[in-house]
Amino acid sequence: MYTAEEAAGWGILSWLHSKDGYTPIVDFFSYSSAALVDYNVSILFQALRCEKNYLRIQDDGLNGTTATVDVATEENMEELIRIGERMLDMTVSRVDMETGRPVPVPEEGTNADALTRFAHDLSKERKARASSQGS
């Protein structure tokens, strides 16, 4: 959302409130926290050899009103739906443990395919637990 060149000239007030109405310092803290959680959880699942059980679908390229949590106009909601549908059609990706960057995993299909698999697996697990409690 911000570049180093842009931020290099900011004073304290610019970190607290940008000309576009955003709060860059909050954006940085929120993004870095989410990125670290994703990286660490991804590494844990990969180390345990169960990486297919972790899926994170996220668009780090949102900007303008789509990047804010408090713009609930019909136009913005429709744009968020379009973004979500586009993300479902994207190839599953995983964090590369060397670079920390997401890498596509074509053999796992799209995010929609992965969510369908998760739903199927969860349904099977629920049925198995329900039947074992009833016996």
Domain count, the chain: 1
Please state the pTM of the whole predicted model: 0.75
Q: What is the pLDDT of residues 84-109, one digit of tens each?
A: 999 999 999 998 888 878 899 999 99
Give the structural domain span for 89. 4-134
Q: Using alpha carbons only, what angle is made at residue 102 by residues 110 and 124, rounded to the nearest 5 degrees?
A: 45
Q: What is the pLDDT of residues 14-69, one digit of tens each?
A: 888 776 667 788 878 877 888 888 889 998 998 999 999 999 998 877 877 887 77
pLDDT attached to residue 19: 67
Tell whether the model's pLDDT for residue 7 goes beyond 90. no
pLDDT band at 135 (very low <50, low <70, confident <90, very high): low
User: How far, in Å, CA of 10 to CA of 2, rounded?
Assistant: 11
Rounded CA separation 113/82 (Å): 18
